[in-house]
Structure 1
Amino acid sequence: MTECELLSKCGFFNKYQNAKQAACSGFIAMYCKGPKMDVCKRKAYRAEHGVAPPDDMMPTGSMVIE
């Protein structure tokens, strides 16, 4: 499986790739490196607004609550 083309500049991935939370690693497996790459809300946000979304915005569009 390929990786998202935006991975190197994705704030969510860079911030949470080593996180211990199962939810974050699950989202990374499904959206950043998996079958849901094309439905990532972070990609849609970037396309619509021309800028990257907040780092704490998950690929589902929800915000990470710590």
Structure 2
Amino acid sequence: MAAECELLAKCGFFKKYAESKDLACRGFIRQYCRGDGQASCKRKEYRQKHGSAPSDDMMPSGQFMSA
């Protein structure tokens, strides 16, 4: 099992959705934030490309949470 993502403390998605009961959110957090999907996290990619964090509602997959 991979270590937790080094950006969790400042990740808006994680902060906003870590306590969510939504199964999709929990799956993303398990896969991307605490699992082997960290290297393919679109939030990390966005941060590297733009020098700032994406919207809190952008999921690690690059899609956005629907309201």
TM-score higher than 0.5 = yes
The aligned counterpart of 2:35 is 34
The size of the alignment, in residue pairs, is 66
Q: Percent identity?
A: 56
SS at match of 2:32: helix
The aligned counterpart of 1:3 is 4
| TM-score of the pair, normalised by structure 1 | 0.98
Q: What RMSD in Å do the two structures reach over aligned CA positions?
A: 0.5
Question: Structure 1 segments of 4 or more deviating over 3 A?
Answer: none
The answer to whether 1:19 aligns with 2:23 is no
Gapped regions of structure 2 (runs ≥ 5)? none
* Distance (whole Å) between structure 2 residues aligned to residue 7 and residue 18 of structure 1: 13
